[in-house]
Amino acid sequence: MPTVAVDKEDLFERLGKTYTTEEFDHLCFEFGIELDEDTTAEVEEAAKKGLPAERPQLKIEVPANRYDLLCIEGIARALRVFLQKQTAPVYKLVEPASMLTATVSPETAQIRPFFACAILRNVTFTPRSYASFIDLQDKLHQNICRRRQLVAIGTHDLDTLEPPFRYEARPPNNIKFKPLNKTEEYTATQLMTIYEGEKHLARYLPIIRDSPVYPIIYDKQDRVLSMPPIINSEHSKITLNTKNIFIDVTATDETKLNIVVNIVATMFSEYCAEPYSIEPVRVVYPDGRTVIQPDVSSRQTTARASYINSCTALSLSAEEIASLLERMSLDARVSPSNPDEIQVDVPCTRPDIFHECDIMEDAAIAYGFNNLPRTFPTTSTVAQPLAVSKLSDLVRQEWAMAGWVEVLPLILCSHDENFAWLNRTDDNKTAIKLANPKTAEYQVIRTSLLPGLLKTIRENRKHPLPIRVFETSDIAVKDTSAERQSRNIRHAGAVWCNKTAGFEIVCGLLDRIMAMLEVPRIFTHTENATHGYYLKETEDPTFFPGRAAKIFYRPKGNPPYSESQMSQTPSASGTTQEAEPSGLIAAAKDAVSAAVSKLKSTGDVEIGLIGILHPTVVEKFEIPYPCSALEFTLEPFLKEVPHIWADDV
């Protein structure tokens, strides 16, 4: 959660009372925020030693979605309303005789298409309120603005500018101005080089650096206000003597644009000669659309007293709940047509309220969480594990008891790890890919457990051999038939790494878990079995040629093979005959074809692969020893979990 440092004396003066640390900590808890630190003791200790020290501060943690609490003005205002020392302020737009206009050019659609403005008139700053004004912008930039990627804020001395304003996007070499705290003019291209060495601005350069055009704001005299999201102009910088403030906000997200311009304007409108008054600006978009910014009107919604009481175990009337909501800066009243319905006006400073449950939470905070009655639930439930979880636990326990080590790698991996490094190709129909991966290391959701197991061995390759690791977890694939267009599949996988391949080791591991699942092995002489599993040699690019096999599972009730595939082959006429030595090659081909066709006619299910990994695979994962791997799905072995309320339980 964001931490806001406020001047202790200033805050208590605004609240009209001096609190002890314990008292203020309790007040914060009651309101739903947290006192993280009181620096009074540190300041006093420094003063005793004759060291310079700032005024005592209170460091307060606030919820990440309460943007109105990111400054001392918002915290003091909310606490005063909570303590019923004042009513929630009503913010209003004061339209001048001639409203200022800002025009948005079509080129801005390439970089930051949305624009908003606001004006604060006759502002009186003190050094502390001025510092708070700057700090709020930084807090918003790091929070909802996502380090200026989504939204950027600029503030200017309106008296140094001449409207109307123009928001444009130009090639960087066509932009030249004197940036904040500089004495010379530079082109935008030069600024990209200059600010690479300034840590606090260098982090924002990649946002627009590769764009063919940069956003820029001009006044009527072609004087630059700012180049968002990088830097403001030196010409229009605000000072302690600034009286009229012009606020500009540019964004790639219109919703966040409106939230940010409202928060900045409303929080500091209390310093205007007419408190809580804001002058709007007319913004004209390229398509001719005109928007009056900011929109500080409240949003109307409703909540039911019965719903709030059911969630809080209270028995309050709608009038009592409405009075509680008033303490949370919400204008609430009982509906004249429905005594159970509460009409709520949500101010523009509370974008965190979306649903009825948010209103219920505010009512509970105002009532006091510690005051809520403690009761036993009216219903009792019995928990039971999911069938797939029970099955996974069985596999984990048996393989761990066999001396293997369980690992828990991440479900995200790079595209190469999931495909190229396993000698597999991407069909663009299976893997779920991240649209905006933060790093190349996390691009897709794995479709196999092998990348995670092999990366684990790579990072632990200096450990004594053999290395035996396993995992039972989910992979994910696309599924257009599902509502969410994807589905999870529970897999079990294991890798043996030693100086020798150890194919027989992973075969034994497979046999062990199948024995615990009561699935018998199907051999040549038991191929007519109605239930079991067997291996069938295959060629897979992930595994060494001739050293890989598919794992097939025959569920109970499926038809078995009707004839031996080892000693008989179908003849050209369709009758069965013994294979002659002279026709061994042809007979072998026929046997394979017959086996495949019979496999398709039966209900045998391919559940996984087992084999010795290809040398190129272990080389790409930087493993210096041969490895054998096993991976199969656990889904076919799931047994139906009985309903807990079934009569036969």
- Residue 602: which pLDDT band, with cuts at 50, 70 and 90? low
Q: Which amino acid is at 626?
A: P
Report the distance separating Cα 454 and Cα 448, nearest Å.
11
Confidence of residue 88 (pLDDT cuts 50, 70, 90): very high
pLDDT at 595: 47
Which pLDDT does position 561 carry in this prediction?
A: 41
Bridge partners (DSSP) listed for residue 445: 412, 432
Q: What Å distances lie between residue 65 and 2, 102, 353, 481, 627, CA to CA?
A: 9, 30, 9, 36, 49
Element (H, E) at 608: strand 605-613
Average pLDDT over residues 227-252: 94
> Using CA atoms, how far apart are residues 283 and 292, in angstroms rounded to an integer?
6
Residue tagged 């390759």 (tokens): 461
**What spatial distance separates the first Cα and last Cα of the chain, rounded to whole Å?**
47
Please give the Cα distance from 201 to 192 (Å, whole number).
10
Mean pLDDT within 207-212: 93
8 Å CB contact between 266 and 91: yes
Q: Which of 555, 520, 516 is nearest to 395 (CA)?
A: 516
Res. 571: pLDDT tops 50: no
d(CA 559, CA 544): 33
Q: Measured on CA atoms in the order 169, 172, 176, 181, is the torsion positive or negative? A: positive
Q: Please state, in angstroms and rounded to a whole number, the distance separating the CA atoms of residues 70 and 351.
A: 14
- Exposed/middle/buried for residue 109 (C-beta within 10 Å: 0-12, 13-18, 19+): middle
For residue 471, what are its two tokens? 């995992």
> In angstroms, rounded to a whole number, what is the distance separating the alpha carbons of residues 334 and 339?
6
| pLDDT at res. 590 | 54
pLDDT of residue 639: 67
Lowest mean pLDDT among 212-216, 447-451, 575-579: 575-579
The DSSP letter of residue 37 is E
Element holding 301 (H helix, E strand)? strand 299-304
pLDDT at 93 over 80: yes
Task: Tell whether the model's pLDDT for residue 568 goes beyond 60.
Answer: no
The model's pTM is 0.68
The 3-class SS string of 353-394 reads CCCHHHHHHHHHHHHCHHHCCCCCCCCCCCCCCCHHHHHHHH
pLDDT band at 578 (very low <50, low <70, confident <90, very high): very low
Whether 345 and 298 have beta carbons less than 8 Å apart is answered as: yes
Dist CA 485 CA 482 (whole Å): 5
SS (H, E, C) 412-462: EECHHHHCHHHCCCCCCCCCEECCCCCCCCCCEECCCCHHHHHHHHHHCCC
Write the single-letter amino acid at 250.
Answer: T
Residue 557: per-residue pLDDT: 67
Segment holding 356, helix H or strand E: helix 356-367
- Count the neighbouring beta carbons within 10 Å of the beta carbon of residue 361: 19
**389: Cβ contacts below 8 Å, ≥ 6 apart:** none
Does position 584 have pLDDT exceeding 50, yes or no?
no
Section 315-333 average pLDDT: 94
Position 640 pLDDT exceeds 70: no
* pLDDT per residue as tens digits for the range 391-432: 899 999 999 999 999 999 999 999 999 999 999 998 888 899
Looking at every residue in the chain, the average pLDDT score rounds to 88
Answer whether 110's CB lies under 8 Å from 167's CB.
no
Percent of the chain with pLDDT over 70: 91
Average the pLDDT over 571-581 and give the result: 36
Count of C-beta atoms within a 10 Å radius of residue 427: 8
Of the listed ranges 107-111, 425-429, 596-600, the one predicted with least confidence: 596-600
Concatenated DSSP letters of 459-494? HTTTSPSPEEEEEEEEEEEE-TTSTTSEEEEEEEEE
Could you count the other beta carbons within 10 Å of the beta carbon of residue 420? Answer: 13
pLDDT at 2: 86
Instruction: Name which of 496, 530, 518, 504 is nearest 394 in CA terms.
Output: 518
Residue 149 has which token pair? Answer: 């990627």
User: Helical H runs in 54-198?
Assistant: 72-82, 127-142, 188-194
Neighbours of 51 (CB within 10 A): 9
Residue 385, judged by CB atoms within 10 A of its CB (0-12, 13-18, 19+), counts as: exposed
pLDDT tens, residue by residue, 452-470? 999 999 999 889 889 999 9
Q: Please tell me which residue, 317 or 593, carries the higher pLDDT value.
A: 317
The amino acid sitting at 280 is: P
Residues 311-340 have a mean pLDDT of 94
pLDDT at residue 137 in the model: 94
Q: Is the four-CA dihedral 619, 623, 627, 632 of positive or negative sign?
A: negative
- Measured between alpha carbons, how far is 431 from 415 in angstroms, rounded to an integer? 9
Amino acid at the residue 374: R
Q: Among 3-7, 539-543, 578-582, where is mean pLDDT lowest? A: 578-582
- 151-157 β-sheet, strand order: 114-120, 245-251, 151-157
In the structure encoding, which two tokens stand for residue 218, read together? 């001009």
Please state the three-class secondary structure of 220-282 as a single string.
Answer: CCCCEEEECCCEEECCCCCCCCCCCEEEEEEECCHHHHHHHHHHHHHHHHHHECCCCEEECEE
pLDDT single digits (tens) 244-270: 999 999 999 999 999 999 999 999 999
> What is the spatial distance between Cα 406 and Cα 417, in angstroms, rounded to a whole number?
20
pLDDT (tens digit per residue) in 375-386:
877 777 777 888
